[in-house]
Every structure is written in C-alpha cells, then in structure tokens.
Amino acid sequence: MTANVAALLLQHYVDNFRRLPWRSTPGESPPDPYRVWLSEVMLQQTTVAAVVPRFDRFVARWPNVQALAGARDEDILSEWAGLGYYARARNLILCARQVARLGAFPDTAAELRKLPGVGDYTSAAIAAIAFGQRAAAVDTNVQRVVARLHGLREPSRSQIETAVFDMLPEGRAGDFTQAMMDLGATVCRPRAPACGVCPLSQHCLAFRSGDPQSFPAPKQRRERPHRYGVAYWVERDGQVWLTRRPNKGMLGGMSALPGSEWTVALPGDANAIGTVRHVFTHFSLDLHVVLKLEPTGEGWWHLISELDRAGLPTLYRRAADLALTRQQHAA
Ligand code: SF4
C-alpha cells in the first residue's frame, strides 16, 4: 500500500504542484537551502499568500545567508515587521550568523536541528527538500493527512513519523515532502476535505469511515489568559516618539510606541482614546492608546508620514492608526 500511496501522491504533485518562489519544479535539482530555510521559518504560523511577497522582498535585499548574516539587526527586524512571532526573526538572525560561520547549511536533519530556531519539523523539511535526505517532516498538515489515511484518532508523533518513513520513496524525499504539504493545504483540509479529488481516497481509512473530517480527534483548547497594557502616542511637529522593545520577551528588539508593562489588571492611567485588541499565541491583550505631551523613556522622533518605514509590528501599527484616525475625527 505505502509504495502505491507514494506513487499516487507524487503523480498528483507533478500535475498540481504550487509554484512558489522557494521551490524547484518536481524532478529538478533541489532548491537553495537558504531559500528553503527562510521560507520554512516565515511559514511558521503565517499563510503562504502572506509569505510570498515578503519572501521575495527579503531575498531581493539579502540573496544569500552570508548577506543576511552581515545585515544589521534593526534592518532585519524592520523587514520582518508585520509577519508576527518576532522570536522567529531574532532566531533567524542568530541562525544566519551561525551558518555563515560554518560556511554552509549542514545537510542532515540532526545537524540542522542544532541551529537556533530550527525545530524537528523545520530541520526535517530542509534536509528532505534541499538535500534529498530521508527525513520525516511532520507539521499539522502532514499529521492530519497521515492520521486520516491510517484512520488514527489520537496518533502519537512517533506513529506519524513511522508512517511517513514507511511511505518515503527512495530518491524523491524532497518532492514527497512537498507533495504531502500541498495535499494537506489544498485537498485534505482540516474542514471539508476534498476527498472527491484526492488521489489517496482508495487507500484512506478515514474516507472509508464516511466521516473523514472527524480524524484526528480535535485537541482540547486551553483558555488564553488576558492582559492589559498602555501605549503612549506622543506627537510633535509631524513626528511621533518611538522606542525599541527590550531584546528579550514579546516583540523583542522591535520598534514600538512607548508604554506600560502588560499586566493581568488594567493599568491605572488608562485614560485612553481607544483600545487595540490583539491575540498572541499564549494570551490576548487590550492595548489602551493614551495621548501624552512629553516623550517618555529612550527613543527617537519618527516622521508620521514615513510610519510605514518604522518597522512597527502589527500591534503597534494598529495602535498608531487608531491614534491618527481619532485625531482626524477630532480635528
Ligand atoms: Fe484526506 Fe479525504 Fe484524501 Fe483521506 S481521502 S487523505 S480524508 S482528502
């Protein structure tokens, strides 16, 4: 069954593969590991549609790992602004510098796994796609496809990895890995899987059950804690006072509006002109935007007309937009 499944999957990939700027055409030489690594880091928690234009801009500016390793932290963080999950950007910088020191990306999953910000999935994906190594890249898409194929309700990670290894065809690890990713993203979707056009339906136990969507069983969601914070809008002569967040912690090293710590209780001076609600992975936040006359803390004046180039992450960009809109209405 497994060889047959791999052959069907590969043919479906050859016929339907998504052309993406970090990929090679099926059957051709593997893509540049730098591009594979960068795309995989960008794709963690961000959609393909959002990543493509940002990836193109990134590689136009820094076409290889040496160029990225030599760039200034602020420039990289600013180019990353809006992609979210900023710990990824900080690890990206550390990883680029480590690879530049090594001279090249390592070519095995075990060695790649030692690089900053490169976990089990990313190391396996780079090893398989860029170096053709037999490695099981298991993300949520692949986990879902395999769980459904084998009719597993609560599969363990090792069960999924074993099943992927069993299917991996000799000499086609890269195409197979990308084929699994594509099938999970476009056909075997979390809701309403398109079994009617799936090349694997004849082999799929979840399909045979009549209720494929119920595999694997949904995980219990944990309640997210809620926090509160204040961001100050300090404006003078067409400029706004910006600051840089501490390197450690949420949005570390990013440009920001000055403000309070984020706490479990509403801060005292929340005489706000409005509130931005933002959901992070582990908590949600109400950021109250407060007008202030004098600059606070270390920072710099930035032209409001050039706010797009300030490298503000989405949370602070939304807070800035809120302040600007409220002021327009008040004028
Ligand atoms: Fe997923 Fe349906 Fe294909 Fe099974 S037949 S792998 S459930 S899309």
Query: Tens digit of pLDDT for each residue in 75-131?
Result: 999 999 988 888 889 999 999 999 999 999 999 999 999 999 999 999 999 999 999
The residue with greater pLDDT, 195 or 267, is: 195
Residue 235: active-site member: no
User: Nearest Cα to 101, choosing from 60, 130, 68, 63?
Assistant: 68
C-beta atoms surrounding 270 within 10 Å:
15
Task: Please give the DSSP secondary-structure letter assigned to residue 21.
Answer: T
Q: How far apart are CA 43 and CA 141, in angstroms?
A: 13
User: What percent of the chain has a predicted confidence (pLDDT) above 90?
Assistant: 84
- Cβ-in-10-Å burial (0-12, 13-18, 19+) of 17 comes to middle
Q: How far apart are CA 66 and CA 34, in angstroms?
A: 10
Alpha helices by DSSP H, listed for 17-47, are: 33-43
Q: How far is CA 294 from CA 235, 258, 318, in A?
A: 8, 11, 21
pTM: 0.80
Locate the ligand 1 atom nearest the alpha carbon of residue 195 and give its number: 2
pLDDT of 307: 95
- Write out pLDDT tens, residues 138-170: 999 999 999 999 999 999 999 999 999 999 999
**123 C-alpha vs ligand 1 centroid, how far in Å?**
26
Task: Give Cα 20 to chain centroid, integer Å.
Answer: 16
**146 C-alpha vs ligand 1 centroid, how far in Å?**
9
User: What is the average per-residue pLDDT within 15-35?
Assistant: 95
Whether ligand 1 lies within 6 angstroms of the CB of 188 is answered as yes
**199 C-alpha vs ligand 1 centroid, how far in Å?**
8
Whether ligand 1 lies within 6 angstroms of the CB of 207 is answered as yes
Task: Please measure the distance between the N-terminal and C-terminal CA atoms of the chain and give it in whole angstroms.
Answer: 70
Q: How far apart are CA 326 and CA 231, in angstroms?
A: 15
**All domains of the chain in start order, with CATH:** 2-214 (1.10.340.30), 226-330 (3.90.79.10)
- Write out pLDDT tens, residues 64-78: 999 999 999 999 999
pLDDT of 222: 79
Whether ligand 1 lies within 6 angstroms of the CB of 198 is answered as yes
- Write out pLDDT tens, residues 227-268: 999 999 999 999 999 999 998 888 988 999 999 899 888 766
30, 130 Cβ separation under 8 angstroms:
yes
Q: What does the block give as tokens for 101?
A: 């020191």
168, 136 Cβ separation under 8 angstroms:
yes
Does the pLDDT at position 331 exceed 90?
no
Whether ligand 1 lies within 6 angstroms of the CB of 200 is answered as yes
